[in-house]
Every structure is written in structure tokens, then in C-alpha cells.
Amino acid sequence: MIKRFVFILGILFAGTLAFAQTEDEYVKTHTEDLLTKIKAHRASMYSKLELTSEQRAQINELDKNCYEKLEPELVKLSVMTKKIEDLANSDKCTKKAVYAVKKDFKSVEKDMNSIKKEYDKEFRQLLNGEQKAQYRIVRKQKRAELRQEMLKEIERQREQAKK
């Protein structure tokens, strides 16, 4: 009897470890995807600014520091995304549970915005007047593109939910 109990407990523990690894892998993959998208977004913007080699070197260093600060926040964001997905797929999905995650998300969003503002301020100092004007134009265009992508994704998810 005791052997059977220990065996069952071992199976449950192993299942818990397997789930934890899966969740860790999800968070790692999601965080890497977010960082990759941010880097691609910035590279696309930089390509339109006609940067000098000196500016590129300074921006590369600035980016490196920014990504180091952003990564822990992106990990938190990925954990919250996983929580929301798990909630949505469970019987425990309540407004209260969703709002609790949303509250945490607001805190992370505030921290990320702070990092972004600091980065943007330092980045603009590296640009000349013409580049700053071009940067404003490119940012507006990128924001519009991102909005359209998000709207398409929302519509795609709505269509899937109907099926």
C-alpha cells in the first residue's frame, strides 16, 4: 500500500515538473519572440534614418542596455500572458481572476513605458534635426501598421472563436 502511494505521488510530482518545464519553455519562447519583434521593429526604423557609422555604434550600445532592462519586464509579461491563456482555458476564469492579472499587467506596462521613454530620450539626442523629423514620421507609420496588425489578429481570434 505504501509503495503504491509513493509511486502515485512520484507520478504526480513528475507531472508537475513536466508542466513547470512546459510553462518555463513557453515563457522563454514568448519572451524571445517579443524581443525579436522589438529588434526587427527598431532595425526597420533605423534603416530609414540614414545613420552614420558612429551613430550606429552608439545606438547599438544604447539598444544593448535597453534590451537588458526590458528583458525582465518581458519575462513578467510572458508569465502574465500564460496566466491569461491558462485562465481562459480553465473553469476558474472569472472577472476577478482576469482583473488581478490585468492589475499586474498595468504595473509591468508602466515599467516598460518608463524604460521606453528613457531610451527614446537618449536615442533622440543621437539624431540630427533631419533625422529627428524622419524618426517622427517613421514612428507614426509603424504605430499605424502595428494597430492594423493587432486589429487583424483580434478579428482572426474572433473568427476562430465562432467556429
The helices-and-strands tally (H runs, E runs) of the chain is 4, 0
d(CA 128, CA 154): 38
How confident is the model over 111-127, as pLDDT tens digits?
989 999 999 999 999 99
Find the radius of gyration of the CA atoms of the chain: 21
Domains in the chain: boundaries: 2-127
d(CA 92, CA 98): 10
Q: Nine-digit cell at 7?
A: 509511486
Which string of b and e fits 106-143 if b means at least 16 CB within 10 Å? Answer: eebeebbeebeeebeeebeebbeeebeebbeebeeeee
pLDDT of 47 over the 70 cut: yes
How confident is the model over 16-35, as pLDDT tens digits?
444 445 778 888 888 898 88
- pLDDT score for 2: 43
Structure-model confidence comparison of residues 21 and 9, the more confident one: 21
